Structure 1
């Protein structure tokens, strides 16, 4: 996945949230505009998952005004024409113990 393409799709509003991502963003009190700004700002791809059974995906680190955010992105296929659409699979604030800091994994539970 490519950050330029991700940013373009976010700017165009051509993306969707999974049900899980909606639940997670609400748990972490993340507004949709915060997620958009995290992806459009100084974001970086931390991990790529080219062989994910659900399809290619990646973990992006971005920053809202006040905190880091992790966004896992993948592709959703449209049923009507088979074209792909950016899907936000999950989104969360990286915290201990799973994350030592926003860029470094901590303890696996």
Structure 2
């Protein structure tokens, strides 16, 4: 927040509903237009990653449209690695989009 203005937000939720995946979350981060490369997203995500560790999360998954190289680069800088690629599974703005999943293992004990 800057002067009462919200600059961005992020959150994590269960990746899948089945009990076997209860320690895996999917994260999402949104920034106000024009605020990339100012450290806001990094601060938000570092706080989220710490909070996920605190509640026993073992793995975070980021589901990113493949053409969003900025988001993929951002997640790589946080330690995420690309683990899957799906063709045309997203649909936005009248077209199908490929999606890349990226993963960050948090190292929680079993």
The TM-score normalised by the length of structure 2 is 0.28
Q: Which structure features the higher share of strand residues?
A: 2
TM, length-normalised to structure 1? 0.28
Larger Rg: 2
